[in-house]
Chains A and B, each alone.
Chain A
Amino acid sequence: MSNGTFEPRLVGFLCNWCSYTGADLAGTARMVYAPNIRIIRVMCSGRVDPQFVLKAFREGADGVLISGCHPGDCHYQEGNYKALRRHRLLSKMLEQFGIEKERFRLEWVSASEGTKFQLVCNEFTEQIRKLGPLNLHQNGGRHEQGQA
């Protein structure tokens, strides 16, 4: 697929208390943003198990976003710090798998930051458009061998 026709597929895990509400605000305020992101609501960014992120990439996501409350504002106190630590370690590990850092993003978006959510989605979409498709679903399949 040439990058000209490539539409990035993005998955976003948004915490219920801040980022999801922020995204909702972007929606109700009719802000226009790139339609590439599929949003999954989680209670807290700290609930995002790294297995979810890997699964999203494996199932065809070209980029994954985790978005939570700003530091200090997490509804569960520390969940977003946990997300931050996991994000940094997982990013490092993903690079060893050939998945660029830029494909895995962590953002803080508050309930009132509809505009920030809009900006993040647009920016992320453009960034992934430049990187191109991940094509992970073709990797490690049973009969990838057949091409050898």
Chain B
Amino acid sequence: MSKAKPKVAFYWCSSCGGCEESIVDLAEDILKVVAAVDIVFWPVALDFKKKDVEAMPDKSIAVSFINGGIRMSEQEEMAHLLRRKSQLVVAHGACAHLGGIPGLANFWNKDTIFRKVYQTTVSTDNPGKIVPQEKSVVDGYELTLPRFWDTVHPLNDVIDVDYFLPGCAPHRDLIINAVTAILEGKLPPKGSVLAPNKSCCEDCDRNDTKPEKLTIKEIKRPHEVLLDPEKCFLAQGVICMGPATRSGCGERCIEGNMPCRGCMGPTDQVYDQGAKFLSAFASILDTNDEKEIERIVSTIVDPAGTFYRFSLPSSILKRKRMEAVK
């Protein structure tokens, strides 16, 4: 028998499934990965159970790729279990890295989310106003459900994370580079984000069309204008998160003529992506007049949701103030 292959696990937490898809989308390259490793746990694709992982010796998994944020107790439990069993843990995708789109739920809390989802949406028919309970007794059996928290957390809030694979979902080249680096043992320092440490603008084809002194008088949303397919979005008055976002995604939104929404998160120099963007963006508003500033600001719909679209749970404020959630 040949030398034992490194064991790899994949797991999902509060996620959309897109990051799982990003593995499958490696297409023929996945076969190389599959040939090189032993997949020992992958609930989406293979029938392994939690008890199988529990039975493994500690640190016997070479690397666990965990996608999704942490929103429920069960996810934290699984993250701890995989941490214990693995030599390396990679936060796979924007949700595990920063909280991601599901992290926007941090503008609410458990009660308001449950009320909306189980009672007040138009398509809900729940006259008994039943909401999931952590414990319920049916025919003498006690049934339990994981606890749903008020706040979504990025993976490194609950366990030590070795590497971050950014993006919603991560670009295939980044995944392949990461897997190759792991298999060859050529890894950057622990804690690194496995993508170039430069801004999206630096790699953007439209950067040359960005004027030396960029200024904005009117802010437009992508659906309100016919977007020029070559000109820098900011120069068109459209919010583009490129200046505050890490490169490495292949600038795929921009190629599709959509501005960058920021899924790769900030570069190493920046702690809070939203605040950094806000700072840069406010600087280019083309007026010094107080009233005019206020007018322009009033036309920015949902700054918090726009600037923190992917990074709210890992931002400085992390969530909406609890007392203010109604």
Contact = CB atoms under 8 A, between A and B. Distances in A.
Same complex? yes
B293 A54 contact: no
Contact of B317 (A57, A81, A144): A57
Q: Is the interface of B mostly helix, strand, loop or mixed?
A: helix
Contact of B319 (A71, A140, A142): A140
Contact of A145 (B149, B274, B278): B149
A90 to B, nearest CB: 6
A98 B324 contact: yes
A92 B321 CA distance: 15
Interface in B44-85: 73
B303 A58 contact: no
Given A88-B293, A89-B282, A90-B278, A139 B300 contact: no
Interface residues of B, number: 47
Interface stretch (A8-16, A28-36, A118-126, A130-138): A130-138
A54 B151 contact: no
Interface in B281-306: 281-283, 285, 288, 290, 293-294, 297-298, 300, 302-305
Contacts, number: 121
A113 to B, nearest CB: 19
A38 interface: no
B276 interface: yes
B24 interface: no
A88 B276 CA distance: 15
B279 A49 contact: yes
A71 B297 contact: no
A139 B316 CA distance: 11
Interface in A9-65: 49-51, 53-55, 57-58
Nearest to A49: B279
A97 B149 contact: no
B278 A142 contact: no
B202 to A, nearest CB: 21
Interface residues of A, number: 35
A125 to B, nearest CB: 21
Given A140-B319, A142-B153, A89 B303 contact: yes
Interface string B302-321: 11110100000101111111
A148 B110 contact: yes
A93 B278 contact: yes
Contacts of B42: none
Contact of A96 (B107, B288, B293): B107
Contact of A98 (B73, B272, B325): B325
Given A71-B288, A88-B297, A92-B303, 12 more contacts: A49-B279, A51-B271, A51-B275, A54-B272, A54-B275, A85-B285, A92-B300, A93-B278, A97-B324, A138-B322, A139-B318, A144-B149
23 contacts: A49-B275, A54-B275, A58-B317, A78-B288, A81-B288, A84-B290, A84-B293, A85-B283, A85-B285, A86-B283, A89-B282, A90-B275, A97-B304, A98-B320, A98-B322, A136-B321, A140-B317, A140-B319, A142-B153, A142-B158, A147-B150, A148-B110, A148-B150
